[in-house]
Amino acid sequence: MSPAEIVKVNPTTPEKPLIKRAAEILLQEGLVAFPTETVYGLGANALDEKAILKIFEVKNRPSDNPLIIHISKIADLYLLSNNVVPIVEKVVKKFWPGPLTVVLPRSEIVPDAPVAGLPTVAVRMPNHPVARSLISAADVPIAAPSANLAGRPSPTSATHVVNDIGEKIDMVLDGGEIIYGVESTVVDFTSSPPMVLRPGPITVEELRKEIPELEVHPAVKGDVKTEVLAKSPGMKYRHYAPKAELIVVEGSKEHIREKVQEIVNLRKKEGKSVAVISTVENAPNYRADVVKIVGKRNDLREIAKNFFRILRELDIEGVESAVVEGIKPVGIGLAVMNRLKKAAGGKTIRTD
Ligand code: TXA
Ligand code: MG
């Protein structure tokens, strides 16, 4: 296959002819990568099993890991599920369009392929003009996982997409920067009470205002064996991993710096090249081969936005180890810590 056509698109008012062409590709079993407000997605017609199988192949995604189906209007939720209960209606009215995915029982029009044979379907209505106009132009629900190779950090720029899968898809719509940098919050409404399976930009705190009884799956914090507990198939795989070993240090602001430097020194003694992923405040104090700055300690939104890009940069620097300052697991910080711990595959150290 020839490499993807890479096209710049206006992120606020997408060019109509361009969107029309991308939609035609989707309707002919093609794959189009496009920006959403969270990360870049790899789109295919959700109702076309052949197109969906291509997604799994291109991403090298395990076939038991279901995809999120994207829609451009709330009415389409009722096509994908016959069980939209009042609490779901309330929540989607509040947070859609936006970075929230709801898991519901699936209707008979949803094929097996996108949901990996599950009785449920995950649905989201994104809030990005390019994503919305593309889905609406195609006029079919669009399955769209993050547009990275399975196991790699999610793409927050078109370049990340091209580097991972550019040779194997039809088109990349380059809409520049994304807004959040971590994937949507996934809430399962088939369990009672509803349960957060993946934390994201719509925070647990915000959701609890609408659903006081909401629970957070124990695997979300990354401190338990996810294989045993995995409810969402995506929870059990090691994700987001750079080639370097990743070590996360958690704890209070005062102690974290000392501990991070201690681990860097340990790895340096072993002859390894080591990076630190640091907040702005601590960066000048580190002695390491590379220091990457992720954002101000209290600006969790900024940290979320930079985080996947920095994981990818570690590969470019070619370091063998990276020690990362943990951040507060509140608000969008919970999503960042969740991805970070998955990337570290269990190498987490607490200072207190
Ligand atoms: O922000 C996002 O959600 C991005 C953009 C492109 O929209 N998409 C994304 O898709 O992150 P993906 O495929 O990388 O992640 C989908 C997650 C996986 O963890 C998967 O296991 C879970 O959603 N999921 C999908 N369908 C599910 C279902 N029926 N039940 C439980 N979990 C499900
Ligand atoms: Mg993904």
Q: Quote the pLDDT of residue 1.
A: 72
Which residues are found with C-beta within 5 Å of the ion, ligand 2?
A: 146
The CB of 141 under 6 Å from ligand 1? The reply is no
Separation CA 168–CA 163 (nearest Å): 11
Distance of CA 225 to the CA centre of its chain: 21
Question: What is the reported pTM?
Answer: 0.95
Q: Which ligand is nearest to the CA of 122?
A: 1
DSSP per-residue letters across 153-166: PPPSSHHHHHHHHT
CA of 343 to the centre of ligand 2 (A): 12
Would the CB of 39 count as within 6 Å of ligand 1?
Answer: yes
User: Is any atom of ligand 1 closer than 6 Å to the C-beta of 144?
Assistant: yes
Q: What integer pLDDT is reported at residue 62 of this predicted model? A: 94
Atom of ligand 1 nearest to the CA of 154: 14
Ligand nearest to the CA of 240: 2
Tell whether omega for the bond before 11 is within 30 degrees of 0, i.e. cis: no
Gap from CA of 256 to ligand 2 centroid (Å): 29
Check if 300 has its Cβ closer than 6 Å to any atom of ligand 1.
Answer: no
Who's near 228: CB < 8 A, 6+ residues apart? none
Letter for the amino acid at 243? K
- Statement: residue 15 has pLDDT above 60: yes
30 lines ligand 1 (CB under 6 A): no
Q: Helix or strand or coil: residue 337?
A: helix
CA of residue 260 to ligand 2 center, whole Å = 29
- The finding on whether 65 has its CB within 6 A of some atom of ligand 1 is yes
Across all residues in the chain, what is the average pLDDT?
94
Helices 129-138 and 16-27 cross at an angle (nearest 10°) of 50
Q: Higher confidence at residue 129 or residue 243?
A: 129
Does residue 68 have its Cβ closer than 6 Å to ligand 1?
yes
State the Rg of the chain over Cα.
20
Residue 97 Cβ contacting ligand 1 at under 6 Å: no
- Report yes or no: 19 and 34 within 8 Å, Cβ to Cβ: no
For the cut 60, the answer to whether the pLDDT of residue 178 exceeds it is: yes
| Listed range (24-28, 39-43, 278-282, 346-350) with the worst mean pLDDT | 346-350
Establish whether residue 219 lines the binding site of ligand 1, counting it when its CB lies within 6 angstroms of any ligand atom.
no
Q: What is the pLDDT of residues 86-139, one digit of tens each?
A: 999 999 999 999 999 999 999 999 999 999 999 999 999 999 999 999 999 999
Query: For residue 182, which of 295, 281, 54 has the smallest C-alpha distance?
Result: 295
**CA 338 to ligand 1 center in whole angstroms:** 15
Does the C-beta of 127 come closer than 6 Å to ligand 1?
Answer: no
Give the alpha-carbon dihedral of 312, 313, 317, 323, to 10 degrees: -80
Residue-level length of the chain: 352
Task: Give the CA distances from residue 215 to residues 13, 106, 211, 220, 325, in Å, rounded to whole numbers and listed in that order.
Answer: 38, 22, 9, 11, 27
Q: Which amino acid is at 193?
A: P
Q: Assign 229 a pLDDT band (cuts: 50, 70, 90).
A: very low
Out of 40, 67, 235, mutate this one to test ligand 1's pocket (max ligand atoms within 8 Å of CB): namely 67
Do 71 and 84 contact (CB within 8 A), yes or no? no
